Amino acid sequence: MELFIDTGAVSEVEEIAAWGVLSGATTNPSLLAKEDGEPGDIIRKIADLVDGPTSAEVVSPTVEGMIEEGRALRTLHEHVTVKVPFSAEGLAATRALTDEGAMVNMTLVFSPNQALLAASAGATFVSCFMGRLDDVSVDSAKVLEEIVDVLHSRDLDSKVLAASIRHPEHMVTAASLGCDIATVPAKVLHQMLNHPLTTEGAAKFEEDWKSRPEFAEWLGGLVAKNKG
Ligand code: E4P
């Protein structure tokens, strides 16, 4: 499962792109509305940093408006993926945009039937929102499992993207169900990074190594020799 970062904050992408784990990014109007600065600059910077698909969302309610906004958003950066909210109009816009070569992330998908329609309209990514399903007491794992089954077993080209990730357990669920991608907030990526036994283990390795001061000299010499 590939990892995208779900954010509008360039500083978060700067930090986490350096880990070498990101293949793309997703923004949405709510995430961008929290940030200072022009959305276009933010999207360009994020796309540069992740060097992969970067979703920027259309907001028009009409098919023509979505298509025009999608075309305009694509001029921002070669990695821009047009994010289109699920609706009848969104499906028509997805078909038009993908026919002209755009990557489209169909967002706000909450059921296998919606996912099937999104994939049939040519969506590159189909975003199922786990956290928001859980918020209304619908089992997100079950819905996601059905979406993976519907899209993968029919050999459709669309990738299943697990979105609205709220905690590390969502990540384990999405990965084990066979999702192609998860888009993850920085907070959850940090939670995935940390484990008390890792911290404790690293401290013990350091302490034991330092108990033999000659080892530091030996390793320093080996590094210097290797550098030439
Ligand atoms: C990403 O593409 C979605 O817009 C995002 O994951 C939604 O997350 P939320 O439900 O936490 O707002």
CB 148 within 8 A of CB 128: no
Q: What is the pTM of this model?
A: 0.95
> Probe ligand 1: pick from 27, 28, 125, max atoms within 8 Å of CB?
28
Kindly report the protein residue whose alpha carbon is nearest to atom 11 of ligand 1: 164
Place of tokens 């330092």: 210
- CA 74 → CA 37, 81, 147, distances in Å? 19, 7, 28
Identify each DSSP E strand in 151-195 by its residue range: 159-163, 181-184
- pLDDT per residue as tens digits for the range 80-125: 999 999 999 999 999 999 999 999 999 999 999 999 999 999 999 9
189-205: per-residue pLDDT in tens?
A: 999 999 999 999 999 99
Place of tokens 């990892």: 3
Residues forming CATH 3.20.20.70 domain(s) in the chain = 2-193
User: Tokens for 193?
Assistant: 């990074």
Does domain 2-193 fall under CATH 3.20.20.70? My reply is yes
